[in-house]
Amino acid sequence: MSGLSEAFSSGKTDSRPDRGEVIGRGVVWLAKWALCIVAIAAGAWVLGYLIAKLWVVILPVLLAIVVATVLWPPTGWLMKKGWPPAAAASASLLGFIGVLAGIIALIVPSVVDQAPDLADKATEGIDRVRNWLQGPPLRVRDEQLDSAVEAVTGRLKSSAEQIASGVFSGVTTATSVLVTLFLVLVLAFFFIKDGPRFLPWLHQVTGSRCGTHLEQVLARVWVTLGGFIRTQALVSLIDAVFIGAGLVILGVPLAMVLAVLTFLGGFIPIVGAFVAGALAVLVALVANGVTTALIVLGIIIAVQQLEGNVLQPVLQSRSMKLHAVIVLLAITAGGSLYGIVGAFLAVPVAAVAVVTIRYIGEQIDLITGETTEAGDPEEVDATAPDSDHSTDVVRGAKDPEPEK
């Protein structure tokens, strides 16, 4: 009887692991992942620290990349017409500078001429709102209004300081601003002039396997970033034209300035459009009255609905779409870390990150034998570093020849 019991016990022990062993394996697994998360967080903190320290250098590079993506189509068109790369890049860059100078020359005199009158009307509008609040049915007391005005004034002052520090984060003097702008223009010139040579050079330096992955990711990032910026520019231009036309027809002061702000605000999705629209309604309220302000609000809502439901779904590629939650979180994080410039660059950076994650997912699917979301195995094979035709995908990049 005892021998049978021992045999039964030994069989049970061999077929199933001990409870403590199972718990130990789980604890070890959890500890490994915890260490990985801590290491990733530490690396992210070091990376953020380095970015903050080198922001004066990184900011011109990022802005130059944005400018280069905008200027690459006209530069490529001129190159196809037989222009040398340097001449084509110079012509595109000079045209870009001319457009910016024309916009500044167009809006600055309007601001200077209409600012005093707008300030007087703003004061009159504030007094009118104050009298309305003191009357029925609200009957707000003067002490409450004074405290509210002081709170709003303090908030505006602190926000102005944050905005100023965000716009010129890492750029403290007028000389530094000029140096930064000069660096942006010079870097953008070299990016659009020598950009096609970068990927083959990178492939040769990093080697066949790593170079193929880098070329694939950077090529997709460039296409994604360029498409995103050009699409946002077109959508923002349409918004600015319709809203600006409505403001001009209604006789709202600073209509051209508000149209330009609407165009610039379009590059900060959701938040930029809301701020630019609110500013236009406020100017219409203090300058033309409640009726005009309501009409302006209706025009802005109609244009925003046209943009959100028609323009972006048609013009924007499916691979470029980002969920609204990701956009809001990216803008919030970018704005809190680097001010307005961070909010402006947040969505392109998020789009680049999404492209990189998608490529990593494709490689994982290739290793595990699973199909991608598109369900096209040939497309996945084309991105594999060991594929026979992978070099054809990355625009003719060749493996470095061995030294003789």
Q: 3-state SS of the chain? A: CHHHHHHHHHHHHHHCCCHHHHHHHHHHHHHHHHHHHHHHHHHHHHHHHHHHHCHHHHHHHHHHHHHHHHHHHHHHHHHHCCCCHHHHHHHHHHHHHHHHHHHHHHHHHHHHHHHHHHHHHHHHHHHHHHHHHHCCCCCCCHHHHHHHHHHHHHHHHHHHHHHHHHHCCCCCCHHHHHHHHHHHHHHHHHHHHHHHHHHHHHHHHHCHHHHHHHHHHHHHHHHHHHHHHHHHHHHHHHHHHHHHHHHHHHCCCCHHHHHHHHHHHCCCCCHHHHHHHHHHHHHHHHHHCHHHHHHHHHHHHHHHHHHHHHHHHHHCCHHHCCCHHHHHHHHHHHHHHHHHHHHHHHHHHHHHHHHHHHHHHHHHHHHHCCCCCCCCHHHHHHHCCCCCCHHHHCCCCCCCCCCC
Candidate ranges 101-110, 134-143, 236-245; pick with highest mean pLDDT:
236-245
| Least confident range of 48-52, 125-129, 167-171, 344-348 | 167-171
Among residues 230, 299, 222, the alpha carbon closest in space to that of 266 is found at: 230
Q: What is the mean pLDDT of residues 11-17?
A: 61
Q: Per residue in 267-311, pLDDT tens?
A: 776 667 777 888 888 788 877 878 888 898 898 888 877 776 666
3-state secondary structure 313-355: HHHCCHHHCCCHHHHHHHHHHHHHHHHHHHHHHHHHHHHHHHH
**Residue 383 near residue 393, CB atoms below 8 Å:** yes
Q: Per residue in 367-380, pLDDT tens?
A: 887 764 444 433 43
How much is the pLDDT for 157? 53
Return d(Cα 348, Cα 225) in angstroms, integer.
6
Return d(Cα 239, Cα 67) in angstroms, integer.
21
Rg (CA), the chain: 29
Return d(Cα 103, Cα 39) in angstroms, integer.
48
Please tell me the total number of residues recorded for the chain in this structure. 404
Return d(Cα 245, Cα 255) in angstroms, integer.
8
**Residue 138 above 80 pLDDT?**
no
**Residue 266 above 70 pLDDT?**
yes
Q: Per residue in 195-229, pLDDT tens?
A: 778 878 877 888 777 878 888 888 888 887 877 77
